[in-house]
Amino acid sequence: MTVIKTTDKDRLDFESGINELKEYFASLGARKGRALTYNVLTYGCQLNESDSEKLSGMLMSMGLVQSKGGELDDADVIVFNTCSIRENADRHLFGNLGAFKTLKKKDRDVIIAVCGCMMKVPENVARIKKSYPYVDLVFDPQQLHRFPVLLRDAIRDKKQLVNITADDYIAEDSFFPIDRKRKFRALVPIMYGCNNFCSYCIVPYARGRERSRDFDEIVRELGDLAKKGYKEVMLLGQNVNSYRGGDGKSFADILRAASDFESFSRVRFMSSHPKDLSDEVIDIMASRPNVEKHLHLAMQSGSDKVLKDMNRPYTIGRFLEIADNFRKKVDGGSLTTDIIVGFPGETEEDFADTLKAVEKARFDAAFTFQYSARPGTKAAAFPDQIPQDIVTERFGRLTEITNRLAEESNSRLVGRTMEVLIEGISKAGDRTFSGRTITNHLVNFTIPEELGIDPGPDMLEGRLCEVRIDRARPYSVDGELVRLKGD
């Protein structure tokens, strides 16, 4: 496997792909007498969200507009950006693909493309080839920059095009038109892939080996985002702390460079591996006001034996030391984690160690997963797979504790007035807004009438404000606006 950087030729191919498709869709639209639309369906993590912003950007450059209907099939080009980690993503995909058979019969011009991590699992690709011949294009996440070329070829040749590569491409963000979904938040991948091969995880197979973007390119992109008025940047990678740019540049250098742009109210990052998190990064989190006071550090298990079987090279003692160090240095900081329940061979004792470790680390929130075997990973072939009823029972016990800890974490905010970056109207109701503290706590708040602020739905997005917190819920807190900042 080799890492291939995009070249001038790729750029030319990309542009001619876009231009040819623009012509094609323009004439198809003229024939149909309406604007053509696209729908990109995104499953999984923020890296997929970032990829989808690029897919949308490319489709827009081809002259398509985003479909408004909200129905899956209400578009002329439908792209599934799949995930192989989240539960049930595969059932969603194949269920939906099945339903599209009638749509394709009704309108032969509709295009269906499938990409994302699931396409790096050969069984999934074989299933599409065999049972869903009307899918037009199948490609893998490493080849995002080749999407216009592949789509053009699939349309031209009028037969299913499956293009999965074993190479690890790296295309800088500047390669793409990007349709950023949030007005205030920019997702900025700084590296791709993963070298860790945790024994349960499909990511190293799906996303290839670690490769870092060019440091100067990232800083240039950050400068551009600051100029455009973005208030929050989210630095992304499977394992951001192992970023290695040219000239020995590390993740700490990226974090400093991002926080140097004072117009960013929040610099966030995801995810960190305990083995790579440096003290330097924790010190930056403590000292720089616009770097989030929130660390997402996956623990996975509290048992040294299970961690070893998972190929996670740290002990639970070491993990708790890092957690302690973070709590000591980053005043009021929040610590969140991922935990897997029911890994092969997990005994009741191992699980009890996980519960103990969760209490000790006092996580502010935890993403909890029931272990599920992923074909192609080492753990899928381990003996001692745990029966589902035991997994479900343990999962219930774990989430009871993590939910309580999350509510306690929220309760500690009650009575305080906190700075909140407004994300928009809350799901709770149309006069309620939502946003996040710098510790990543979710805040829903109302605006008292006497303040005389009557914002339109999007007016406040990206603004900083102060909110008095008056109530804790399991996953959020409620409050009232005290004042908008920057007026």
Q: List interacting residues with ligand 5AD (CB under 6 A).
A: 85, 200-201, 298, 300, 338, 340, 369, 371-372, 374
Give, as ranges, the residues between 270 and 329 that touch ligand SF4 (CB under 6 A).
273
Say whether residue 137 binds ligand SF4 (CB under 6 A).
no
Q: Which is nearer to ligand 5AD, 86 or 180 (CB)?
A: 86
Q: Which is nearer to ligand 5AD, 372 or 434 (CB)?
A: 372
* Shortest spacing between CB 207 and ligand SF4, in angstroms: 8
Of 314, 306, 301, 316, whose CA–CA distance to 382 is shortest?
306
* Shortest spacing between CB 44 and ligand SF4, in angstroms: 12
Which of 36, 89, 190, 201 lies at the binding interface for ligand SF4 (CB under 6 A)?
Answer: 201
Tokens of residue 328, six digits: 């000591």
Burial class (CB in 10 A: 0-12, 13-18, 19+), 266: buried
Which of 17, 141, 148, 204 lies at the binding interface for ligand SF4 (CB under 6 A)?
Answer: 204
* Shortest spacing between CB 456 and ligand SF4, in angstroms: 40
Say whether residue 197 binds ligand SF4 (CB under 6 A).
yes
Give the HSE-up count for residue 301: Cα atoms under 13 Å, Cβ half-sphere: 31
* Shortest spacing between CB 277 and ligand SF4, in angstroms: 12
C-alpha span between 62 and 147 (Å, rounded)? 12
Q: 191 forms bridges with which residues in the sheet?
A: 212
* Shortest spacing between CB 27 and ligand SF4, in angstroms: 43
C-alpha span between 114 and 160 (Å, rounded)? 11
Select from ligand SF4, ligand 5AD, none the partner in contact with residue 371, using the beta carbon and a kind-dependent cut-off of 5 to 8 Å.
ligand 5AD
Select from ligand SF4, ligand 5AD, none the partner in contact with residue 204, using the beta carbon and a kind-dependent cut-off of 5 to 8 Å.
ligand SF4
Asked if 196 and 239 touch (Cβ cutoff 8 Å), the reply is: yes
Of 49-57, 199-207, 241-249, 446-454, the window that binds ligand SF4 (rule: CB under 6 A) is 199-207
Number of residues that bind ligand SF4 (CB under 6 A): 10
C-alpha span between 354 and 420 (Å, rounded)? 33
Select from ligand 5AD, ligand SF4, none the partner in contact with residue 196, using the beta carbon and a kind-dependent cut-off of 5 to 8 Å.
ligand SF4
Of 154-162, 175-183, 200-208, 388-396, the window that binds ligand SF4 (rule: CB under 6 A) is 200-208
C-alpha span between 33 and 54 (Å, rounded)? 27
Q: Which is nearer to ligand 5AD, 67 or 300 (CB)?
A: 300
Q: Is the Cα dihedral 283, 284, 288, 290 positive or negative?
A: negative
Say whether residue 198 binds ligand SF4 (CB under 6 A).
yes
C-alpha span between 14 and 332 (Å, rounded)? 47
Q: Which is nearer to ligand 5AD, 14 or 200 (CB)?
A: 200
Q: Which is nearer to ligand SF4, 241 or 265 (CB)?
A: 241
* Shortest spacing between CB 429 and ligand SF4, in angstroms: 37
Q: Which is nearer to ligand 5AD, 140 or 346 (CB)?
A: 346
Tokens of residue 47, six digits: 């890296």
* Shortest spacing between CB 428 and ligand SF4, in angstroms: 33
Omega before 250 cis (within 30°)? no
Of 278, 363, 331, 282, whose CA–CA distance to 438 is shortest?
331
Of 26-34, 88-96, 106-114, 194-202, the window that binds ligand SF4 (rule: CB under 6 A) is 194-202
* Shortest spacing between CB 47 and ligand SF4, in angstroms: 10
* Shortest spacing between CB 248 and ligand SF4, in angstroms: 23
- With vertex at residue 219, the alpha carbon angle to CA 188 and CA 171, rounded to the nearest 5 degrees, is 55
* Rama region for 39: left / alpha / beta (φ>0; ψ in -120 to 50; rest): beta
* Shortest spacing between CB 402 and ligand SF4, in angstroms: 18
DSSP-derived 3-state class of residue 24: helix
Say whether residue 189 binds ligand SF4 (CB under 6 A).
no
Strands 432-436 and 442-446: antiparallel
* Shortest spacing between CB 235 and ligand 5AD, in angstroms: 17
Which of 239, 241, 250, 354 lies at the binding interface for ligand SF4 (CB under 6 A)?
Answer: 239
Q: Which is nearer to ligand 5AD, 192 or 200 (CB)?
A: 200
Say whether residue 238 binds ligand SF4 (CB under 6 A).
yes
DSSP-derived 3-state class of residue 30: helix
Of 343, 398, 393, 345, whose CA–CA distance to 373 is shortest?
343
Q: Which is nearer to ligand SF4, 239 or 409 (CB)?
A: 239
C-alpha span between 76 and 40 (Å, rounded)? 11
Give exposure, 136-162, as e/b (b: 16+ Cβ within 10 Å): bbbbbbbbbbbbbbbbbbbbeeeebbb
Q: Where are the beta strands (DSSP E) in 360-431?
A: 365-370, 417-425
Say whether residue 196 binds ligand SF4 (CB under 6 A).
yes
> Site residues (CB under 6 A) for ligand SF4?
194, 196-198, 201, 203-204, 238-239, 273
